[in-house]
Chain A
Amino acid sequence: SVLLYQKPNRDICQSGTSLKIQCVADSQVVSMFWYQQFQEQSLMLMATANEGSEATYESGFTKDKFPISRPNLTFSTLTVNNARPGDSSIYFCSSSGTGLYEQYFGPGTRLTVL
């Protein structure tokens, strides 16, 4: 399995500002994923991030709004640009480690945009 850590645990920001969420794995992983979860709802895959290449975004998520960096095999950051109240949700990073088709999740970052 893989242990993932996220920072910050939670954040409150004003509309129009940007914030970064960091994800660190305790071992090297090929792919990292970012998910968005609104209160009481399911998780939506935002993007897949592989080292050294641009992240691949799912429908409804864009690089301009949610730029993702993946500078090495243990680290990724998700930025929320021009935050709006509708971005208030929990953001999770995950990775599959060495196990195929099973993923391990970070504890999540709860974002509130005022």
Chain B
Amino acid sequence: TQTVSQSDAHVTVFEGDSVELRCNYSYGGSIYLSWYIQHHGRGLQFLLKYYSGNPVVQGVNGFEAEFSKSDSSFHLRKASVHWSDSAVYFCAASITGGNNKLTFGQGTVLSVIP
């Protein structure tokens, strides 16, 4: 069984700052990792995913994430945040042959101060 852990419940930054949201996973086999964003009162929107190849993947709105097998991590980054990036961010994992089922982390609330 795979597990996903987001160690930071809340992150607060100023507009224009860079930010990194942390995600660690636990699973012994091939795993797909992804990030989703949930604005207040809305559904989840897919940001980016990783399965293989270049460990740095680009997503929408300037987000990128880097996979590290040695650290079992898939941290999300953005170089310069905007107030509209304020939302809850979920890291998720799916195992190969797992019928596309997602296991989510606890979520990180990102607050961007204008």
Q: Which residues of A contact B (CB under 8 A)?
A: 1, 4, 31, 33, 41-45, 48, 92, 94, 96, 100-108
Contacts and interface: CB of A to CB of B under 8 A. Distances in A.
Bin chain B's interface residue count: 20 to 34
Contacts of A102: 34, 46, 49
Given A42-B105, A102-B34, A108 B49 contact: no
A42 B107 contact: yes
A92 B100 contact: no
Nearest to B99: A48
Nearest to B107: A42
B43 interface: yes
A43 B44 contact: yes
Contacts of A106: 43
A43 B100 contact: no
Contact of B90 (A42, A96, A104, A107): A42
B45 A48 contact: no
A11 to B, nearest CB: 15
B32 interface: yes
A45 B34 contact: no
A101 B34 contact: yes
B42 A107 contact: yes
A17 B105 CA distance: 32
A80 B102 CA distance: 22
A45 B102 contact: yes
11 contacts: A1-B46, A31-B99, A43-B44, A45-B103, A92-B44, A96-B100, A101-B32, A101-B51, A102-B34, A103-B102, A105-B36
